[in-house]
Structure 1
């Protein structure tokens, strides 16, 4: 497996983990009281938005040619760190 393939597999595994977290959040939102439900839904929506951005970035990386890979990787790393941080913030606020 090339470094590129391993890198993308790692990113995909992170997205899968986020999907599992979102699924757990959704179950808790469904059980929440009205006031708490509104705020919890906001955090769930934010987590989904960050996950969707990560999936879009991963799709861009997969579509990139080998020549563009090295140039895109550093930009992807920076974007990934931002997305990951935002997702984790949403999860932290959700957990209270």
Structure 2
């Protein structure tokens, strides 16, 4: 398995985890009082946007050739870390 394949698998697992978390929080939001509903909807949108960005980055990594992957590897990892952090911050606001 190449470094790129391992990275893509890690991204896929994280996206799957995020999808499960979004589903859980959507259920929580549905049970919220009206004054909290808008806040939950806003945070869920941010989480979905981060997930969608991560999926696009994952597809970019999957399609990159070996030479291109070598050139973009550090940038991809930094972007992934940033997306993960933003997702976690949005999730933390649910508490």
Q: TM-score, normalised to structure 2's length?
A: 0.96
Unaligned runs of 5+ in 1: none
Partners of 2:2 and 2:65 in 1: how far apart? 14
Q: Which runs of 4+ in 1 moved over 2 A?
A: none
Q: What does residue 28 of structure 2 align with?
A: 28
State the partner residue of 2:74.
74
Cα distance in 1 for residues equivalent to 2:28 and 2:36: 10
Name the counterpart of 1:46: 46
Cα distance in 1, alignment partners of residues 17 and 74 from structure 2: 23
The offset of 1:15, in angstroms, is 0.5
Partner Cα distance (2:3, 2:73) in 1: 11
What count of residue pairs does the alignment treat as equivalent? 95
SS in 1 for 2:93: helix
